[in-house]
Homo-oligomer: A and B are copies of this chain.
């Protein structure tokens, strides 16, 4: 590496790490004793969930890092974490990325992102390239279902948290949303408004969240003893042409639906256009909220996640690991909430 580059990085790092917060600062801010902070940082038992959360928030807010952690404070080098998404252009990930970035910044770390474009091979290539470039930790939205390739990196000290979908074949911290319950509740909402002929258009079933949402749809239909016609269940790629074709098949076929549940925001946005062209009103509930959903005619009923909260939780878990927590890997599941705005409450029209 050219000498000028290293010097520049060292100068930048030196001025910013001048006044590091200590565990005493964290204790004072959280209103707890020093021993309590130590327990949280080390992942030891004996701390209530409320207290632990308060301490964790103080750690994040102050940007506290253990001085003796060889993993982060290597002399003269900025800490950095990697975020691996599956699609750079999906608006769902924007609040998640920004939340992870804010937590990174509060810890004085840089955030580097990459995208797997839903390709497991690309995900592995990118993750290993980030590790080879000395990221201290990774937040991963996995495209792969087998993460054993990461075991050497994790053994070497690279902390890893999975978000939105679980890791495959390894144990690691993960932050998920209850996709099954969210989809089930969204379809149940349509059933409660009188619909019996309901379609589902979602993503490729090999994707964990898509598979869980199919299960939720099937559970809601079975729970109300409603049969599912062959054309009503349409997973696949979420490009507009495919979604449109399957929507038209279930709307115009021999067993037309009176309502559709969309498995994610990309599908919902295409369906908004397809349904607006039709004379017959068709009810719509979509998984994931999206910008301007409330300004459409009719405003769109959604099963909303909180991607910023997902990102924040994942990043907090990551820095907890980087600060030395050794407790077993955690699974955190966030709930969804149904926002009824109009499109999901239209009665059946045939």
Residues of A within 8 A of B (CB): 1-2, 4-6, 8-9, 12, 78, 80, 87-91, 94-95, 97-98, 101, 105, 110-115, 117, 124-126, 128-134, 149, 152-153, 156, 269, 272-273, 276, 291-292, 295-297
Contacts and interface: CB of A to CB of B under 8 A. Distances in A.
A94 B88 contact: yes
Given A78-B129, A91-B91, A101-B117, 20 more contacts: A5-B131, A8-B149, A9-B128, A12-B124, A78-B125, A88-B98, A90-B94, A94-B94, A97-B115, A110-B126, A111-B114, A111-B115, A112-B130, A112-B133, A113-B114, A269-B291, A276-B295, A295-B296, A295-B297, A296-B296
A113 B9 CA distance: 19
Contact of A1 (B89, B110, B132): B132
Contacts of A124: 12
Given A12-B124, A101-B115, A112-B113, A89 B78 contact: no
A95 B89 contact: yes
Contacts of A89: 94-95, 97-98
Contacts of A295: 272-273, 276, 296-297
A161 B88 CA distance: 20
- Taken together, the copies of this chain in the complex come to 2
Contacts of A1: 132
Given A111-B114, A276-B295, A132 B5 contact: yes
A107 B88 CA distance: 19
Nearest to A135: B133
Given A5-B152, A12-B128, A88 B97 contact: yes
A110 to B, nearest CB: 5
Contacts of A91: 91, 94, 291
Contacts of A94: 88-91, 94
Contacts of A153: 5
Nearest to A152: B4
Contacts of A6: 132
B114 A156 contact: no
A91 B94 CA distance: 8
Contact of A9 (B8, B110, B129, B273): B129
Contacts of A101: 88, 115, 117
11 contacts: A2-B156, A5-B131, A5-B153, A5-B156, A80-B129, A87-B98, A88-B97, A89-B98, A94-B94, A113-B113, A291-B291
A91 B90 CA distance: 9
Contact of A110 (B97, B129, B292): B129
A12, A133, A296: most-surrounded residue (chain B CB, <10 A): A133
